[in-house]
Amino acid sequence: MRPLVVPFFIPHLGCPHRCVFCDQEKIAGARGALPTDAEMRERIGRYAESSPGRDVEVAFYGGTFTALAKRDQSALLGALQPFLESGEVASLRLSTRPDAVDAGVASFLKEMRVATVELGVQSMDEEVLRLAGRGHDAADTERAVGCLRQAGLSVGVQLMPGLPGDSPERSLATLHRALSLQPSFLRIYPTLVIAGTELARMYHEGSYQPLSLDQAVSLCKRMLLIARRAGVPVIRMGLQPTAELESPGVILAGPHHPAFGQLVESEICFDLMRLLASGLPSGSRVCFGAPAGRVSDLVGQKRGNLARLKELLGVEVEAVREEPSLAPDAISLQWEDGVLQARFDEL
């Protein structure tokens, strides 16, 4: 069972830069202030009561945690040590920038029993990093991952395809370079144009064009398949919807969808369904089997995958059923002449 995450957002706090795409208050739906001991205690207790029996993980998101004043880092992490000792909290995680990590920082985090650090890498392309105003280079990411891994911490990498100067080829090169660092997991956030950012100004003046939703789904599909082949899980695609982010006028442009990750998964499923059905005569009537929890991915939003199979191949899908016996990475097709199976690693 996945741990219950108790989030604390510290937007922009500790961050020495304002990247062209960034407005953490809108993205995270929180204002910039460090949580007090009482606030942390109350929230941990409330979350734990809502899901008894689950491990609790406290996470600091937004901002650049390791660029906060050392006394603030010590105060926040120190206040959580009794919870770790009592078992009320099982683990700690935080987010930071690659250039705010060195061997000393990694050692301190390990001492304070932080388990996971997520790095806002965004790109490994020097030109893309420069145009985004990141203030660090790809070598900073390589050094940071090395320091954290040497200290025994789990390292996550956040990537943002579609930044100024980016292209599908550059995004895929970034992915391959990031995977070579052997991160524990990835998050992939296609770039959105948020009101009030420098990117919004660039968009309005015509110097920046974001990815369309279709382009982002297609690119993230390729990225997800590559990451899976490398054995690195992608734990999220697309920004987590918040009330602030969903407010009218906040997202000006870009591939935003509240279920972006499912769109990507459904596209992968469609490719595998088409692979299985491609040799069938037009007019065939079939049933698909899906592994546990994946029926909706095969069906697609508004039954779009079923409609596309009929349009492209003339294949009529009579049903999509859950088959718990199927491996998590496989689907099946039943038709009058028998049963076919295929796995996602065949794509």
Query: pLDDT tens digits, residue range 217-250?
Result: 999 999 999 999 999 999 999 988 777 777 888 9
Q: Residue 15: pLDDT band by 50, 70, 90 thresholds?
A: confident
Q: Given 233, 258, 283, which residue is the final one in a domain?
A: 258
CATH of the domain at 284: 3.40.30.60
Q: Given 212, 230, 258, which residue is the final one in a domain?
A: 258
46 & 191 share domain = yes
Query: Which among 118, 148, 121, 149 is positioned nearest to 135, based on CA atoms?
Result: 121
What is the residue range of 109's domain?
4-258
Flag whether 223 is in a domain: yes
- Backbone φ, ψ for residue 47 (5° rounding): -65, -45
Query: Which among 93, 118, 120, 96 is positioned nearest to 4, based on CA atoms?
Result: 93
Beta-sheet pairing, 193-194 with 251-253? antiparallel
What does the pLDDT read at residue 29? 45
330 & 289 share domain = yes
Determine contact, residues 213/254, Cβ cutoff 8 Å.
no
Flag whether 263 is in a domain: no
282 & 163 share domain = no
How far apart CA 324 and CA 205 sit, in angstroms, is: 52
Report the pLDDT averaged over residues 17-45.
77
Residue 28 reports pLDDT greater than 70: no
Give the chain's domain count: 2
CATH of the domain at 115: 3.20.20.70
Residue 65: CB partners within 8 Å, gap ≥ 6? 10, 14, 73, 94, 95, 96, 100
193 & 292 share domain = no
Q: Amino acid identity of 207?
A: S
Beta bridge partners of 70: none
Q: What is the pTM of this model?
A: 0.92
